[in-house]
């Protein structure tokens, strides 16, 4: 017979282990930690959109209708007589009192230049040194004696032919370039098509002269145009009448736009006032903001 049945005592727990909670495996530990740590949704930050800087868009057509209206209002408020005409970058002629006749003064020297260059081209002749001296003095320095000498070669007939070619509808002349009568509209037509007014053979020469008037006479439109526009122009003035004129072709530097502007004044309170009038009209026409 066997001996008495002995109960087997439980195996002692490993040192340091709570006998009531055995250490789980690695997977269990991870699960336990995950269940103990609250889960938060990821933080979302809503940043304001980047600040957009205003973009200045240059108008496709210059001058704008608003600019022309502003210039007309300014011209009407000035002392004396003020007229202007502009052929905008779409080829449309607009202005203020643009058909009023004025003594042309030295603005007509651009027509004397065109008449002489057309005479030379018709004869197949170049501009020689003596001719260059006369034409340069007449245009760059507005020398009257030089204009007299050139006019003696072309006469009224040469001037009239230039006017007809340019589409000038109100041009008048009788016996001397100084007697010429012009309108702002007609001077804008002339400077709006210099390629048509001058013969191809001498076009570059004429453009160079009209683009290199001496600094002391480059007030008005060239001052306002600044570096944004290339300007070819001719001015005229009669101090006794405080008459101040300018007519110009403007071509956008680095852009495709071209315009022509003619501003004619008379009976201004002073020559300086007349220059200020020209610049005020031109500034409004060329404003693009």
Domain of residue 90, CATH code = 3.40.710.10
Token reading at 110: 């651009």
Indicate whether 224 belongs to any domain: yes
Q: Tell whether the model's pLDDT for residue 129 goes beyond 70.
A: yes
The Cα–Cα gap between 278 and 272 comes to 10
Which residue has 């060329």 as its token pair?
A: 286
Q: Tell whether the model's pLDDT for residue 150 goes beyond 80.
A: yes
The pLDDT value recorded for residue 288 is: 84
Indicate whether 48 belongs to any domain: no
Looking at the 3D structure of the chain, how many domains does it have?
A: 1
Indicate whether 57 belongs to any domain: no
Model pLDDT for residues 217-271, shown as the tens digit of each residue: 999 999 999 999 999 999 999 998 999 999 999 999 999 999 999 999 999 999 9
The pLDDT value recorded for residue 253 is: 95
pTM of the complete model: 0.80
How confident is residue 58, by pLDDT bands cut at 50, 70 and 90?
A: low
Indicate whether 162 belongs to any domain: yes
Token reading at 34: 């995950």
Please report, for residues 96, 120, 245, 261, the alpha-carbon distance to residue 178 in angstroms, rounded to integers and kept in the order given: 25, 22, 14, 22
CB 279 within 8 A of CB 62: no
The pLDDT value recorded for residue 289 is: 74
Indicate whether 84 belongs to any domain: yes
Model pLDDT for residues 17-48, shown as the tens digit of each residue: 444 444 455 555 445 545 554 544 554 545 55
The pLDDT value recorded for residue 7 is: 47
The Cα–Cα gap between 198 and 192 comes to 12
The boundaries of the domain holding residue 113 are 65-286
Averaged pLDDT score across all residues of the chain: 87
How confident is residue 67, by pLDDT bands cut at 50, 70 and 90?
A: very high
DSSP 8-state class, residue 60: S
Supply the Cα-derived Rg of the chain in whole angstroms. 42
Indicate whether 239 belongs to any domain: yes
The Cα–Cα gap between 168 and 214 comes to 27
Indicate whether 173 belongs to any domain: yes
The pLDDT value recorded for residue 70 is: 98
Indicate whether 51 belongs to any domain: no
CB 71 within 8 A of CB 96: yes
| Arithmetic mean of pLDDT, 99-127 | 98
The pLDDT value recorded for residue 49 is: 61
């Amino acid at each position: 017979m066997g001996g008495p049945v002995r109960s087997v005592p439980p195996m002692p727990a490993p040192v340091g282990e709570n006998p009531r909670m055995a250490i789980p495996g690695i997977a269990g530990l991870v699960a336990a930690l995950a269940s103990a740590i609250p889960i938060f949704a990821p933080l979302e930050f809503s940043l304001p959109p980047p600040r957009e800087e205003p973009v200045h868009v240059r108008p496709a057509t210059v001058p704008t209708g608003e600019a022309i209206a502003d210039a007309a209002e300014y011209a009407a408020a000035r002392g004396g007589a003020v007229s202007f005409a502009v052929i905008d970058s779409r080829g449309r002629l607009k202005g203020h009192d643009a058909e009023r006749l004025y003594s042309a003064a030295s603005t007509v020297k651009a027509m004397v230049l065109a008449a002489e260059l057309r005479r030379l081209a018709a004869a197949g002749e170049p501009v020689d040194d003596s001719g260059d001296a006369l034409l340069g003095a007449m245009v760059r320095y507005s020398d009257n004696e030089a204009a007299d000498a050139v006019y003696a070669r072309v006469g009224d007939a040469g001037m009239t032919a230039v006017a007809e070619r340019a589409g000038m509808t109100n041009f008048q002349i009788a016996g001397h370039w100084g007697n010429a009568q012009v309108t702002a509209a007609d001077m804008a037509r002339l400077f709006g098509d210099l390629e048509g007014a001058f013969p191809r053979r001498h076009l570059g020469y004429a453009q160079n002269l009209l683009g290199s008037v001496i600094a002391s006479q480059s007030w008005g439109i060239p001052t306002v145009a600044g570096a944004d526009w290339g300007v070819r122009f001719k001015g005229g003035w009669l101090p006794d009448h405080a008459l101040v004129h300018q007519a110009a072709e403007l071509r956008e530097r680095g852009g495709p736009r071209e315009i022509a502007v003619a501003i004619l004044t008379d009976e201004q309170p002073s020559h300086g006032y007349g220059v200020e009038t020209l610049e005020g009209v031109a500034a409004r026409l060329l404003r693009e903001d």
